[in-house]
A and B are shown apart, each in its own frame.
Chain A
Amino acid sequence: MRLPGGRLTSRAESAQFERVIQRLLGLSFASVLLLLFAFSEQAEGAASEALTLEELIDRADCIAHVRADAARSRYDGRRIVTEVDLSVERPIADISSRRKLRLLVPGGVVDGIGMRVEGAPRFRSGEEAVVFATETERGLRTVGMSQGVFPVEARGEARLVHPSGRGLALYRRGPNGRLMRSAGAIEAPMPLEAFIARIEKSLEPR
């Protein structure tokens, strides 16, 4: 029998060649299917974790010491969101010349109906905080829900910053690659000036 290569083969050789071709066909068929399945899957996102102060800074588009002015909730057709107006007491990073910020927070109250997401930041009018926020398509949001809000308590002339993340589950990736329990960016209250100095030091070019 003559094959495309022009070489003459025996009957046994041709049978062996046939088996190889059949196997190759089977393999290529399976490979095509496998590739189709593999490329059609959606890409998996990386597991998130508790954020250190440095990570909060990295993810934030703006950082500021703010005071909550007013909040309005609205129903966006699917859920309730609250817009919180903040006056900038002291800009810390990347807020240009803005003196006002408007945060978007999931949850709120509309027409006597409340919607609550445990772990979302909450603001009371007049309350001060250091806020780490990021710009999104929907508006300005805190980084890591309440992880990005550090309440500031006035004690006379002094200001004390409290740890963030109340009501939020925090995770951190350990050296072995596993996520494990973690404290937030700060573990105990500290003076506002010291906290801002720590942020500014992290912002310095290395």
Chain B
Amino acid sequence: MKSLLKLGLLGAIFAMMPRSSAEAYCLLTTESSNSNDAYGCVMEGELVRWRRPCIALSLDDRGSRDLDPPRVRAAIERSFRAWMEIDCGGGLPAFNVRLNDATTRCQYAGFDFNGPNANTIAFVDNFEEEGYDATAFAVTIVWYSVETGEIFDGDLLINEDFVPYTICPDSGCEGDEIDLINVLTHEAGHFFGLAHSDVIPATMYRLAPRGEIEKRSLHPDDREGFCALYSEPLNPSCSFSPIGGLADRCAGDAPPPTKNGRCDASGGEFAGSLLPLAFVLFLYRLWLGGRIKRALHPTARA
């Protein structure tokens, strides 16, 4: 009987471990120091994961330089769907992640302890100045409770210094392009609480050359890591509102451009500022064209 109890206890301890030594995925934990196992995974602390099933993402209204908003939105939805479609058995984990129709004004990763928030996805063109490293295509920042490991907020920042971003066809990319779905599927893994894996074909493998699309499709190692994180039911209540409510812009970011006192979310600032100039040039061309015509045909009248 005693040996059975011992076996049961060992089994329980094994089940609670962030990962077993035979697997290659790593999971984020609340322990921030270097206390790695032989595979480089941090073993101490609570697992960092979402507890709420309903999560809303917000796209920064400045969007991407290379891709129009509908294509960016499609890439985000496809990337997160890859993870949401994982069935860990018994209908778990049943996430409901959606991309808000309304954009937000937020190019920063942030979490306001006392105010509204947004799970931001933003293309950032001063990546290094913001304190993130220029060698990364993107970074995902998660905010969590140190006590429980529950994720409160997740932000994805895409490095605009890497260009061009595109959506490659399923047959593969051509040239030096970066497939946005490939990048975002990897980052979505971090968003859910996965760290890097040592399995080369895995989405969570830490290397990704340009032109790669393999990370769009999850590897069994990714699914095992995801299911190790979400083997327990999530909270039953569903609310898409972030902690503190939904922020339409983040602290420290410039307000969106306004026109006649109203928010003008559509169209870029640059395009808007050029339109009057283009109109003046057009009028000038008409006027000059008319003058030349009159000079060539002095008798003609409009």
Contact = CB atoms under 8 A, between A and B. Distances in A.
Interface of A: 1, 14, 17-18, 21-22, 25-26, 29, 32-33, 36-37, 40, 42, 44-51, 75, 77-79, 81, 104, 106-109, 111-119, 122-125, 127, 136-138, 141, 144-145, 147, 151, 166-171, 177-182
A114 B250 contact: no
B119 interface: no
Interface stretch (B49-57, B76-84, B127-135, B229-237): B127-135
A48 B278 CA distance: 37
Contact of B134 (A32, A45, A179, A181): A45
Given A109-B146, A171-B209, 20 more contacts: A17-B296, A21-B292, A22-B292, A45-B163, A47-B163, A48-B162, A78-B108, A78-B250, A78-B251, A81-B131, A113-B113, A114-B144, A114-B145, A116-B141, A117-B140, A122-B32, A123-B33, A166-B40, A180-B210, A182-B207
B139 A117 contact: yes
B135 A108 contact: no
A117 B111 contact: no
B71 interface: no
B190 interface: yes
B34 interface: yes
User: Lowest 10 CB-CB distances: which A-B pairs, in order?
Assistant: A45-B161, A124-B33, A48-B134, A145-B133, A48-B135, A78-B110, A181-B207, A179-B210, A180-B209, A169-B206
Nearest to B189: A118
A167 B195 contact: yes
Nearest to A121: B34
B282 interface: yes
B34 A169 contact: no
B197 to A, nearest CB: 10
Interface of B: 26, 28, 30, 32-36, 40, 48, 65, 108-111, 113, 125, 129, 131-137, 139-147, 152, 160-163, 176, 190, 195-196, 206-211, 250-252, 270, 274, 277-278, 281-282, 285, 288-289, 292-293, 296, 298
18 contacts: A29-B282, A42-B65, A78-B108, A114-B32, A117-B140, A118-B139, A119-B133, A122-B33, A136-B131, A144-B133, A145-B136, A167-B196, A168-B206, A170-B207, A171-B209, A179-B176, A180-B209, A182-B207
Contacts of A104: 131
B292 A48 contact: no
B296 A18 contact: yes
B292 to A, nearest CB: 5
A170 B196 CA distance: 12
B206 A167 contact: yes
A114 B296 CA distance: 76
A40 B33 CA distance: 45
B108 A169 contact: no
A166 B36 contact: yes
Given A18-B292, A108-B32, A116-B142, A168 B48 contact: no
B183 to A, nearest CB: 10
A58 to B, nearest CB: 14
Given A79-B110, A144-B133, A169 B140 contact: no
A118 B186 CA distance: 12
B161 A44 contact: yes
Nearest to B205: A169
A138 B131 contact: yes
A168 to B, nearest CB: 6
B32 A116 contact: yes
B285 A18 contact: no
